[in-house]
Amino acid sequence: MHDELVDHLARSSPLNRGEALRVVQDVLAYFDETTEDFVRRRHRELQAQGLVNATIFERIEADLRYRAVAPPELSLRQLRRIVYG
């Protein structure tokens, strides 16, 4: 699984091959998160920081633009529906 990337990390960093493999697997798992799961997780994280929903949903909207595979653009209403159903 992604042997070229693992080999590259092992050659270009202080990581051994096993560590490089774990890093690649962790990154892939992070980006495997669905848009809905990402929105819910970020909402919880930002809410725990004491932010209000208006700020939270604007931040999530901006964060979504930087995902590895950008999801379709979601309105604030669609983001709220993901969180609250």
Task: Name which of 39, 32, 34, 31 is nearest 85 in CA terms.
Answer: 39
The three-class DSSP label of residue 85 is coil
The pLDDT assigned to 34 comes to: 86
| Residue 81: per-residue pLDDT | 94
Is the entire prediction scored with pTM above 0.85? no
The per-residue pLDDT for 69 is: 62
Give the Cα separation of 39 and 60 in Å (integer): 7
What is the pLDDT at residue 66?
83
